[in-house]
Chains A and B, each alone.
Chain A
């Protein structure tokens, strides 16, 4: 079973988590064009790569950010939202779980 390391609850089986999609920046709805807005609503970066993603630990209702390689399915880091808000700088230490 794949293990995901929750920043709040530690290593937990991936079945306890829900995937919330890639972290994206919302354009300002008051100033952006219709095309920009519909692109934001619908378009996704579908290609594989290292992405920042929303994940939720369902049992505790805790949302956090995971940095994951979507080609290899390797989680590179899991971060509390605050750390990502602070500019993706302060990466909380966490290594890939060897059992994952």
Chain B
């Protein structure tokens, strides 16, 4: 698949919309069982929007978050998943991306997503070379909310100018 170089400072809405439409099952690395952590409520939000979110967190392996069993690593997830969503510090990203590249075909992974404040350009380049789409320093909950118009309810500039009703990705 031929893909233009992605500018990781400016993602076109069409790319984000395409990712959020295509990826229906998300493995969330760093999902926290603590209900006040952003990963916990991002997971809950995405579930409410129809995504299946599988939590991955070695510290919480075996526990249940929002009805889903937590797995220790990406390789322990029994089901296929489209996206790896990384809620870890930037310096922890490399090995997670390496594992995602190894599991790409077995699990059907198409996309690596790094959360707000998380960015690793070297890991991203490796994933892109392996044919994966990479989004960095964004939150899928915020992006879903932005594209569907929900984020505008809080006065955030969606950047979307249209005379059509907004539709969820």
A, B: real partners: no
Q: Which residues from chain A sit less than 8 Å from chain B, CB to CB?
A: none
B residues apposed to A, CB below 8 Å? none
